Homo-oligomer: A and B are copies of this chain.
Amino acid sequence: MRELPGVVSIREVGPRDGLQNEEPIPTEAKVRLLDALSRTGVRRIEAVSFVHPKAIPQMADADEVWQRATKVDGVRYSALVPNTRGAQRALAAGFTEIEVVVSASDTHNRRNVNRSTAESLDDIAELIDMLHGAGAQAEVIIATSFGCPYEGDIDPTRVAAIVERVVADGADRVAFGDTTGMGTPRRVRDLLTAVRDRNADIPVLLHFHNTRGTALANLLTALEFGVTEFDASVGGLGGCPYAPGASGNLATEEAVHMLHDMGIDTGIDLDALIDAAKLAEDLTARRLPSGVLRAGPRTALTPLP
């Protein structure tokens, strides 16, 4: 094993990416989950998205959730927006870290927003300018970075070219989304190599799904490449709509559990995180896919009779 980073920064995405892909829950429940997560020691939380309520009813109360949530010092909160209107709402709500999405797959991008990848990149260039003008940072999330459910493999050089483009347009960071869990250690290696070959000088964040069991193997591979920023979702919140019953997002507590055992600091209190995962399970009334939530950490011993 290569020398691995000593510290990893986890962004908790359960309140947004997780809940957006679950049955809607009440505003009060969203605030409770957000507040519980803010007290785990996690330093970054994707709190809400500002999207059209008809498109995503799960986020219709984003303004109210955010207003009522307790903002904890030292935690960076971010919001996702699909367009200028969403960006205006996010800025008005006080967010200074804002995410926008484009899909590396043209087909996937057209299915999502009825525009080509190139057209969306033009929109994003304008959004970045607008956000910077308002004093906010802009992160570009590149969906289907490790494969597209319609097109199959996505050429890593295509993804790297998108990175180059958004860097030129002033993006502050870039995230690679494994939208439908097609990532494997090989795909992670190929993508990170392609990005590195372009010398793209920008912070990189990886967002894995555990659809096919590879999330932690992918994370381990990325660590070996020196990546230190990862998304994860408490309890594994966020199903995989196209494959009912499949697990979606990497569970935060599974990531933290493995990282801590490897001596890698996250700043997160694993016990508090597991409590938040239990709360997420109660609030969604759904059995969440996290193994560490089910079995507890490896340090939780079985008492002898």
A217 interface contact, C-beta 8 A: yes
Copies of this chain held together in the complex: 2
- Chain A contacts with B in 68-113, Cβ cutoff 8 A: 107, 111
Q: Are A150 and B304 in contact (CB under 8 A)?
A: yes
For residue A184, which residues in chain B have a CB less than 8 angstroms away from its CB?
A: 257-258, 261-262, 298
Q: Are B189 and A1 in contact (CB under 8 A)?
A: yes
Given A149-B301, A242-B302, A304-B150: A258 and B185 interface contact (C-beta under 8 Å): yes
A6 interface contact, C-beta 8 A: no
For residue A181, which residues in chain B have a CB less than 8 angstroms away from its CB?
A: 291, 295, 298
The segment from A36-44, A156-164, A199-207, A243-251 that touches chain B is A243-251
For residue A24, which residues in chain B have a CB less than 8 angstroms away from its CB?
A: none
A147 interface contact, C-beta 8 A: yes
Instruction: Select from chain B the residue with minimum beta-carbon distance to A263.
Output: B186
| Binary contact track A164-201/B, C-beta < 8 Å → 1, others 0 | 00000000000000001110111101000000000000
Q: Are B212 and A213 in contact (CB under 8 A)?
A: no
A294 interface contact, C-beta 8 A: yes
Q: How far is the CA of A219 from the CA of B262 in the complex (A)?
A: 15
Q: How far is the CA of A294 from the CA of B247 in the complex (A)?
A: 9
For residue A287, which residues in chain B have a CB less than 8 angstroms away from its CB?
A: 245
**CB-contact partner of A186 in B180, B221, B262, B295, under 8 A:** B262
| Binary contact track A265-292/B, C-beta < 8 Å → 1, others 0 | 0000000000000000000000100111
Q: Are A217 and B302 in contact (CB under 8 A)?
A: no
Known: A211-B291, A211-B295, A212-B297. 20 other contacts (CB 8 A): A1-B224, A149-B301, A149-B302, A150-B301, A150-B302, A181-B298, A184-B261, A184-B298, A185-B220, A185-B262, A186-B261, A186-B262, A210-B291, A212-B254, A212-B257, A213-B254, A217-B219, A240-B295, A245-B287, A247-B291
* A interface residues, Cβ below 8 angstroms from B: 1-2, 107, 111, 147, 149-152, 180-182, 184-187, 189, 210-217, 219-221, 224, 240, 242-243, 245-247, 251, 254, 257-258, 261-263, 287, 290-292, 294-299, 301-302, 304
